[in-house]
Amino acid sequence: MTLVTPTVLKIAKPCHLPLALCHVEAGFPSPADDYMEGALDLNEHVIKHPSATYFVRASGDSMIGAGIFNGDLLIVDRSLEASSGKVVIAEVDGQLTVKRLLKLNDGFSLQSENSSYPPIELQEGNEVVVWGVVTHVIHDLL
Amino acid sequence: MKIFALVDCNNFYASCERVFDPSLKERAIVILSNNDGCIVARSNEAKSLGIPMGIPVFKQKAVIKKHNVAVFSSNYQLYGDMSKRVMDSLGLFTPDMEVYSIDEAFLRLDYLQPRNLYEYCKTIREKVLQWTGIPVSIGIGPTKVLAKIANHVAKKQTDVGVFDIRCQQKQDNILKPLDVDKIWGIARGWSERLNSMGIYKASELRDASPPIIRKHLSVVGERILRELKGQSCIDLEAIQPKKNIMSSKSFGKPLTKKEPIEEALSNYAACACEKLRKQNSRAQAVHVFVQTNGFRETERQYNNAITHTLTIPTSDTRIIIEAAKFCLSMIYKHGYRYKKTGIMLLDLIPASLKQKQLFVNFDHNPGDDLMNIVDRVNKEQGPNTLFFGAQGVNREWKMRCGLRSPRYTTQWDELLMVR
């Protein structure tokens, strides 16, 4: 039998931000009050499978083309199937590395997104162990 | 018929370390107890090297060096978080589950009636491995005792990792050579008693007369016998609030002065109180002990303990710390090298239970609000964001955990780095 991966789960630490913000005008009730819809939870947006989701820190500049910079926070979901084109955390020589997974005719390649880094090609027979699929990058602008 | 599955994480602590460091994949790993004293967990490779469980790590120095064994301090933050991930994942497969320990859970699968239970458990195993990185073994049986035995078999079949013992033929084959002391629930004293009755193997216990076993091993022993027969007597248990809460650790180095001991004790007290409030209880008494190092035979030894009854049941850290310090002042003696202190909170009652006192009114305990705030801040901002003065700042008594891996999943500044 096949199992369906549950998609909606409670997040351990919700962070509630009000959806509609209005200034309080003295004397007049806000016309938006009747339309308040509760709160948006950023965790809910970026974490679909809490027990399978890990936060990982990117180091170096090999993935700047994919918008991943040194020190960025990566949201990694281990429950997703890795497929060609996805940015993944993969195991190479006992180290974990972030690269884009590409299907080649005769195997797989782990591509950097920076021309100064050559791709890591994995021929048939050489198995590539994917640790997880990167779903989001959190980049500080300050 | 009931169907139980026991899911057990393979070499859990070592597996947690491997999730975040694949270079450890085939390396022997040992994990040390609090204070880096003894070996408390081993990978399969370490077991094959003959490194025993529970012995002081310094006795294995040569083996560790020769075989390049990876040695870690206990990283309970990591193990606790990974355990929660495994249990949460299992909870998606069945609503009926008992978390039995940090790395084991019983599942009831009979309500689900999946067409092929064996395949279903293989899927559970694959999914838990994919989602968390932790390998598990699953034993399926008609009773908890048999599921536990099936799990031992599953552990040995590392390629599949699932074993179903529901068929009678398999039960006969496995119970026949199995020593009684390997059965879940049979204590050491009991296996000796059984041996003296001529019962050595699990199958012999299963086929023994229930009234005789009951006479020798009480109703608990009879229950195990019936469970071996396939009659389920032990169901999943709901988590009960603990009756006592204990917090105690060895110091990083021997302490002689009272102040640092008091500081350590205050920390353990704060930790115990946090657990107490988490389960919504109050303590009615406090028990404090001090110990010197019994292994150092040349040093003068002193061990003592004292119990102090609280006037009002409480979960207020300030009151408990005061009580603990008072207890310590009663038993502390100058001139010894202390190794350990600890506190136990006793006679716990639900926080909702309020006995009227003649002279004290505690319908509303103002301390509750303060403690709520402390707990909330520490939950949101990290442990020890708010702490009590008595807990000190320098903490020279702190445990050694020099070989701890990063707390990958619970600390922002210790996240896994990828290039």
Percent of chain A with pLDDT over 70: 75
Q: Do B416 and A56 touch (CB under 8 A)?
A: yes
Q: Does the beta carbon of B68 lie under 8 angstroms from any beta carbon of chain A? A: no
Q: Does the beta carbon of B405 lie under 8 angstroms from any beta carbon of chain A? A: no
One-letter amino acid identity for B18? R
Specify whether the CB–CB gap between B98 and B105 falls below 8 A: yes
At residue B343, the 3 state secondary structure works out as strand
B336 to chain A, minimum CA–CA distance in Å?
Answer: 46
A58 to chain B, minimum CA–CA distance in Å?
Answer: 5
Q: Take residue B65 and report the two structure tokens written for it.
A: 């060096």
Q: Please tell me the pTM assigned to this model.
A: 0.77
Ordered by start, the domain boundaries in chain B are: 1-164, 167-238, 245-391
Q: Does the beta carbon of B201 lie under 8 angstroms from any beta carbon of chain A? A: no
Q: Are strands A129-138 and B4-9 parallel, antiparallel or unpaired?
A: unpaired
Q: Do B133 and A74 touch (CB under 8 A)?
A: no
One-letter amino acid identity for A139? H
User: Which residue in the set B123, B409, B419 is minimally distant from A97, CB to CB?
Assistant: B419
Residue B405: its chain A contacts at CB < 8 A?
A: none
Q: Do A13 and B380 touch (CB under 8 A)?
A: yes
A91 to chain B, minimum CA–CA distance in Å?
Answer: 7
Residue B89: its chain A contacts at CB < 8 A?
A: 51-52
List, in sequence order, the alpha helices (H) in B307-365: 317-331
Q: Does the beta carbon of B116 lie under 8 angstroms from any beta carbon of chain A? A: yes
Where in B256-300 does DSSP place strands (E)?
Answer: 281-292
Q: What is the ipTM of this complex?
A: 0.76
User: Which residue in the set A55, A62, A96 is minimally distant from B22, CB to CB?
Assistant: A96
Find the range with the poorest average confidence among A39-43, A113-117, B251-255, B378-382. B378-382
Task: Classify residue B327 as exposed, middle or buried by CB count within 10 Å of its CB (0-12, 13-18, 19+).
Answer: buried
- Chain A: residue whose CA lies nearest to B132: A52
CATH homologous superfamily of B1-164 equals: Reverse transcriptase/Diguanylate cyclase domain (3.30.70.270)
B133 to chain A, minimum CA–CA distance in Å?
Answer: 8
B94 to chain A, minimum CA–CA distance in Å?
Answer: 12
Q: Do A59 and B408 touch (CB under 8 A)?
A: no
Q: Does the beta carbon of B188 lie under 8 angstroms from any beta carbon of chain A? A: no
| pLDDT computed for residue A2 by the predictor | 42
Name the packing angle between helices B210-229 and B188-196 (round to 10°). 120
Residue A98: its chain B contacts at CB < 8 A?
A: 418-419
B78/B17 Cα distance (integer angstroms)? 9
Residue B377: its chain A contacts at CB < 8 A?
A: none
Q: Do A3 and B123 touch (CB under 8 A)?
A: yes
Quick check: A1 pLDDT over 60?
A: no
- Chain A: residue whose CA lies nearest to B93: A3
The CATH fold of domain B245-391:
Dna Ligase; domain 1 (3.30.1490)
B226 to chain A, minimum CA–CA distance in Å?
Answer: 33
Residue A94: its chain B contacts at CB < 8 A?
A: 21-23, 25
Q: Do B116 and A94 touch (CB under 8 A)?
A: no
B86/B196 Cα distance (integer angstroms)? 42
B146/A141 Cα distance (integer angstroms)? 57
| pLDDT computed for residue A3 by the predictor | 40
Q: Would you give per-residue pLDDT tens digits along chain B (419 residues)?
A: 899 999 999 999 999 999 999 999 999 999 998 778 889 999 999 999 999 998 999 899 999 999 999 999 999 889 999 999 999 999 999 888 999 989 999 999 987 766 789 999 999 999 999 999 999 999 999 999 999 999 999 998 878 899 999 999 999 999 999 999 999 989 778 999 999 999 999 999 999 999 999 999 989 999 999 999 999 999 888 666 777 898 988 888 889 999 999 999 999 999 999 999 998 999 989 999 999 988 788 888 999 988 888 888 899 999 999 999 999 999 999 999 999 999 999 888 888 776 666 666 655 677 888 998 999 988 887 778 888 888 888 777 777 777 889 999 988 889 999 99
Q: How confident is the model at residue A11 (pLDDT cuts 50, 70, 90)?
A: very low
Is the C-alpha dihedral spanning A8, A9, A11, A17 positive or negative?
A: positive
User: Which residue in the set B21, B120, B408 is minimally distant from A1, CB to CB?
Assistant: B120
Q: Which residues of A are catalytic?
A: 62, 99
Q: Which of B16, B381, B418 to mutate to test the interface with A (most CBs of A within 10 A)?
A: B418
Residue A60: its chain B contacts at CB < 8 A?
A: 419
Where in B148-296 does DSSP place strands (E)?
Answer: 162-164, 245-255, 281-292
| pLDDT computed for residue A31 by the predictor | 73
Q: How confident is the model at residue A9 (pLDDT cuts 50, 70, 90)?
A: very low
| pLDDT computed for residue B356 by the predictor | 62
Residues 99-128 of A with CB under 8 A from B: none
| pLDDT computed for residue B358 by the predictor | 61
User: Which residue in the set B22, B127, B416 is minimally distant from A91, CB to CB?
Assistant: B22
CATH annotation of B167-238 = 1.10.150.20
φ, ψ (nearest 5 deg) of residue A88 = -130, 160
| pLDDT computed for residue A21 by the predictor | 46
Specify whether the CB–CB gap between B416 and B406 falls below 8 A: yes
| pLDDT computed for residue B240 by the predictor | 66
Q: Does the beta carbon of A95 lie under 8 angstroms from any beta carbon of chain B? A: yes
